[in-house]
Structure formats: structure tokens, C-alpha cells
Amino acid sequence: MKLAQGLGVVLSIVLSASEAVQAQRVAAGRLLVAPFETSRDPRTFWLGEGVALLLADGLNGFRADAIARDERVRAFDLLQVPPQATLTRGTVIKIGQLVGATTVVTGRVALLDRALALHVQALRIDTGRISLEFDERGSLDDLLAIVERAARRLVPAGVAATRADEARPSLPAFEQFVKGLLAESPAAQVTYLEKALSLEPDFDRARLALGRAHAVTGEWTRARDAALAVSASSPYAARAQLEAAVAEIRLTRYDDAFARLKTLGDQTGAPEVFNNLGVIQLRRGATAQGGRSTYFFNNAVEADPAQADYAFNLGYAYWREQDYPAAIYWLREAVRREPGDSDAHFVLGAALQATGAATEASRERELARRLSAAYEEQGATALPDAVPPGLERLRPYLDPPGARRTDSALMATGQRGQRELVTFHLERGRRFFERENDRDALTELQRAVYLSPYQAEAHLLIGRIHLRAGRIADAVAAFKIALWSEESAVGHAALGEAYRQGKDPTGARREAERALALAPDLPEAVTLLERLK
């Protein structure tokens, strides 16, 4: 009797725990669905990606906020993670943090004959713990329904799980589509995607992927034809129109592309559309009807201020118009967003050279040569302001709405990590400088300015090291770069002292007076004027 009662208590506890697990909900926020683990069976390798793709689509269909496959693939590429890699829990958490997710969904797919077993885990980023774990089973033929059930269970708390209407392909067509996405060569991609379309002629997502596969090999006419075959009523219609226009630009059919993009811009207001309109105007000349390229590039920057390519295109277009102050402004904005952009540094150097800022121009060209072998080779033979043609940047795809948030999260994370590294080298350089260990200080400070070309304090300390060693010309150049990066009274006073030591009292007095205008009681400036008397 007592044994039976004990077993009853244990069974009650187990059932209560099971009910508690089932009652758990995924935390509110963005979800990242990683590819599921599968066996090494070549017949089922596609299921890991297929389930992840369907789950993300299903969650978004239920009005949740899941990172779509295109966003996930791009994020993995930026983070240099193989798209089909088996990820550890630590890696999954790190990637989730970088893309701004609150939950990462992972799991396993097992297939025995036609019986499918799906094991799903929802991992909370903030705690690193599994918040929800469950299994779904059924026949492989019911894959779409099985994943839809799993998606419904994963809908975060506070989200009403009401599904949006969306046409779904047949399982055979979907299998060929996923295999096409995973194929390593464009030729294999085309084969699988054409097979998918032969099974499901209205499968617009496969048609869009087919156009992209043709674009990779430069078959722009086929890419255009595939994109234009996407139905006007399809949820992928806007993306297809932009990709058709990109193919037309590649084919120099500028009038067709401009008309197509103009209509699409009126419908969507997307920055990619404005950017590509600007590219057309830049390529077909200022006499073309429809507006200046700078107008469209400016619209793109306003619509997506964080995108470095738009700032670069705007600065490059101003360079082409010989509006050098505007070019300098926007090219500086481009390198602030992307410090490793060699083209932006080089064109910025040319614009600075055109305005007579030789020291700053030399600095930018030096950065370009460090960042790109093309500019390193060109630097020995070409004129300092020989800007290559055709640097403007097309945007090949229309990003889904959430993609900009993913990009912003990745950019913010990268910038934060870079700032931390810059701060580390700057602090070490400052300590070495204070100990008069100038050799090690210079090494650390040069590392800081390599990572952050406009780190004013680092340039200022480099100038002080040169001045202390009697290298007056090098000190003047470093102080000018510091002021170019960020004007300060201390910077003007330091430059003035370098001029004084270099026997240029007029320049020294000018800098001292500018320093006192910014900071009336600055001791260095006051002392400098006393010395000049």
C-alpha cells in the first residue's frame, strides 16, 4: 500500500513537471533559427536547412519576429561561420548575441524510412539555458505540417499565434529548392532549382533563387528573365523587380532599369532602390533626365543612415561633380561607418588633395595602401589623385525589413569590440609615453590608429613622441591629423609648439591664438605665447 502511494506521488511529480515544461513559453524578442543537426545520410542532409528555413518562415507567419534565412546566411558570412556548420552551445549563444536575438532555436532531425522525428530546443541568450524543449513526430510526407506545429509551440509570449495566409509548395518541390540553396556550384544550383520549378511552376521563391544563381555566373539575361517571371501578386514581387533592374543595369539597359526602379521606389521607398537609381544616373551621365545621382544617393542615406555603401556612393558622386567639400564630408562619414574601406580612404585623399590639405590627403592615401594591395601597387606609379572609375556600389538585393536590424546589431557589436581594442592599445600607449618608453608607445599608438584612423588622442601622442625626439616635420604632420580627426585647443597648442621649434613663429602664434579662442585659460597656449614674445 505504501509502495503504491509512493509511486503515485512520484508519478504526480513527474506529470506536474511535464505540464510545467509544456506551459513554458519562449521569451519575447527576436528568434534565430540555426540549421538543425542531421545524420550524414546524403538523402537527408537537406532536412537540417529545410527545417530551419520552414521554422523561421512559420514563426514569421505566426507574427513572431524570426530572423529570415537570407539574414541568417549573411550574418554567418560576416561572422565567418560556415552556414551548415554544427555549432556548440557557446557558439550559438555568441552568434545570437551578435545578431540581436533573445532566443536561439536549435535541434535535431532524424529519419527512419519515412518516419520523421524532430527534436527542438529554444535556448535563451541571457541565461544560456534551455527555456523550451519538445519533440514532434510524423511521416516525412507531413514535414510541412510537423514544422508548422513546432513553430506554433515556439511563438513567444505575448504574440498572438494567428497565421498569415501563405501558399506552400509541395514537399518534392521544396526538397529540390533546399538542395538548390545548399549546392556549392551555380550549375548545380540551377539544376536543382529548375527541377523544383518543373514540379511547382508557381514556386516564386525558387524562381527568385534561380535568378540569383544565374547572376552569380554573370548570365544577366537569364537572371532578368527569371526575376521577371515572378508573379506581380507574389510576396517576392518587389525583390524580383529590384533584381531584374540590377540585371538590366549590368546589361546597360539603363532606361528600362530606371523606369522599373522609379516605380518600385514609389511603392516601397527602399534605400536599395534609391541607391541603384543613383548608380544609373552616375553611369549614364549628368545630362540624363530624371535627376542627379547625388539626389538619389542622399535619399538612400536618409532611409538607411547606418549603411556605409550609401555614404560612400554619395561622397564619390560629389567627387565626380568636383564638389570637394561635400565629397570630403560624406567620404569621412563612410570611413567612420567602415574604417577598413580602402576605396573611401583613397577617394577621400584625392578630395583633400584637391582642396590643398596635403598632409591629410597623404594620410588617407597611406591608409588606402595599407588596406588594399591594389592601391599599394598604384601608389608607386599613379598620380596621388588618380581615382579609379566605376567605384560606385550597386545593391543587388532588396533586404527584408528585419535585415537592417540584424545588420545594425552586427555593426554595433563589431564597433563595440573595435572600440574596446582601440582603448586597450591607446591606454598602453599612454602609459608607455608617460614612462618615456617612446618606442613601445609608438607601437601601441600605431595599432590604435590602424583600428581607428580618426583617434585624435592617439595622433596627438604620436606627435608629442616625434616632437620629443626632435622630428619636427613628423610631429607637425601628426598634430595636423589629430586636428583633422577632432579639433581641440590642446591640439592647436601642440601644433603651435611644433611650429615654434621648427622656427615658424607666424604659424606658432596662429595656432596659439586659435587654442586660446577655444579655451581662454589653456596653460600650454599661454606659455607658448610667452615664449614667442
Task: Tell me the per-residue pLDDT of 417-444, one tens digit each, with 9 for 90 and over.
Answer: 667 788 888 899 999 999 999 988 998 8
Arithmetic mean of pLDDT, 510-529: 91
Single residue among 96, 119, 154 that ends a domain in this structure: 154
Instruction: Please state the domain count of the chain.
Output: 4
| Of 80 and 443, more confident | 443
How much is the pLDDT for 14? 37
Secondary structure class of 334 (helix, strand, coil)? helix
In the numeric block, the cell 599599394 is attached to: 376
Q: Let me know if residue 76 belongs to a domain.
A: yes
Q: What long-range pairs does 399-405 form, CB within 8 A, spacing at least 24?
A: 399/70, 399/270, 399/272, 400/68, 400/70, 400/71, 402/30, 402/65, 402/67, 402/68, 402/71, 403/68, 403/70, 403/71, 403/74, 404/304, 404/306, 405/30, 405/100
Q: Let me know if residue 161 belongs to a domain.
A: no
Spell out where 338-455 has E strands: none
Residues 19 and 145 reside in one and the same domain: yes
β 31-33/103-112 pair status: parallel
Type of residue at 532: L
How would residue 345 be classed by pLDDT, with cut points 50, 70 and 90?
very high
Residue 453 carries which DSSP code? T
Task: Tell me the per-residue pLDDT of 231-287, one tens digit each, with 9 for 90 and over.
Answer: 999 989 999 999 999 999 999 999 999 999 999 999 999 999 999 999 999 998 755
How would residue 289 be classed by pLDDT, with cut points 50, 70 and 90?
low
Residues 21 and 131 reside in one and the same domain: yes
Average pLDDT, the chain: 85
- Residue 296, pLDDT > 50, answer yes
| Of 450 and 291, more confident | 291
How would residue 391 be classed by pLDDT, with cut points 50, 70 and 90?
very high
Instruction: State whether the Cα torsion 270-271-272-273 is positive or negative.
Output: positive
Among the listed residues 244, 324, 322, 310, the one whose alpha carbon sits nearest the alpha carbon of residue 279: 310
Residues 523 and 462 reside in one and the same domain: yes
Distance of CA 72 to the CA centre of its chain: 12
CB 181 within 8 A of CB 205: no
CATH code of the domain covering residue 516: 1.25.40.10
Residues 328 and 211 reside in one and the same domain: no
Percent of the chain with pLDDT over 90: 51
Secondary structure class of 438 (helix, strand, coil)? helix
Which residues 6+ apart lie within 8 Å of 140 measured at CB? 111, 114, 115, 116, 171
Q: Let me know if residue 165 belongs to a domain.
A: no
Residues 23 and 123 reside in one and the same domain: yes
Task: Tell me the per-residue pLDDT of 128-186, one tens digit each, with 9 for 90 and over.
Answer: 888 899 999 999 999 999 999 999 999 987 776 566 556 788 999 999 999 999 998 99
Task: Tell me the per-residue pLDDT of 347-372, one tens digit each, with 9 for 90 and over.
Answer: 999 999 999 988 888 888 888 887 77
How would residue 11 be classed by pLDDT, with cut points 50, 70 and 90?
very low
Q: Let me know if residue 406 belongs to a domain.
A: no
Task: Tell me the per-residue pLDDT of 439-465, one tens digit each, with 9 for 90 and over.
Answer: 889 988 988 887 777 888 999 999 999
Cα angle 375, 378, 380 (rounded to 5 degrees) comes to: 120
- List 104's β-bridge partners, or say none: 32, 123
Residues 523 and 449 reside in one and the same domain: yes
* CA distances from residue 210 to 170, 257, 281 in whole angstroms, order as listed: 18, 20, 28
Residues 111 and 140 reside in one and the same domain: yes
CB 334 within 8 A of CB 322: no
What does the buried/exposed string (b/e) look like for 207-232 if buried means 16 or more CB atoms within 10 Å of the residue's CB?
bbbbbbbbbeeebbebbbbbbbbbee
How much is the pLDDT for 79? 67
Residues 245 and 297 reside in one and the same domain: no
Secondary structure class of 124 (helix, strand, coil)? strand
Residues 88 and 196 reside in one and the same domain: no
Residues 219 and 85 reside in one and the same domain: no
CATH code of the domain covering residue 145: 3.40.50.10070
Q: Let me know if residue 399 belongs to a domain.
A: no
Q: Let me know if residue 289 belongs to a domain.
A: yes
C-alpha cell at 508: 606658432
Single residue among 364, 394, 424 that ends a domain in this structure: 394
How much is the pLDDT for 478? 87
Arithmetic mean of pLDDT, 463-469: 92
Give the max Cα distance, the chain.
108
How would residue 83 be classed by pLDDT, with cut points 50, 70 and 90?
low
- Residue 12, pLDDT > 60, answer no
Q: Which helix (H) or strand (E) holds 112?
A: strand 103-112
- Residue 288, pLDDT > 60, answer no
- Residue 320, pLDDT > 90, answer yes
- Residue 196: domain span: 170-251
Arithmetic mean of pLDDT, 41-59: 88
Q: Let me know if residue 2 belongs to a domain.
A: no
Lowest mean pLDDT among 119-123, 299-303, 339-343, 397-401: 397-401
Q: Let me know if residue 124 belongs to a domain.
A: yes
How much is the pLDDT for 10? 38
CB 203 within 8 A of CB 226: no
Arithmetic mean of pLDDT, 482-510: 91
Residues 439 and 490 reside in one and the same domain: yes
Single residue among 394, 424, 443 that ends a domain in this structure: 394
Q: What long-range pairs does 344-347 form, CB within 8 A, spacing at least 24?
A: 344/308, 344/312, 344/315, 345/371, 345/453, 346/372, 346/375, 346/387, 347/312, 347/315, 347/316, 347/319, 347/387, 347/391
Residues 183 and 311 reside in one and the same domain: no
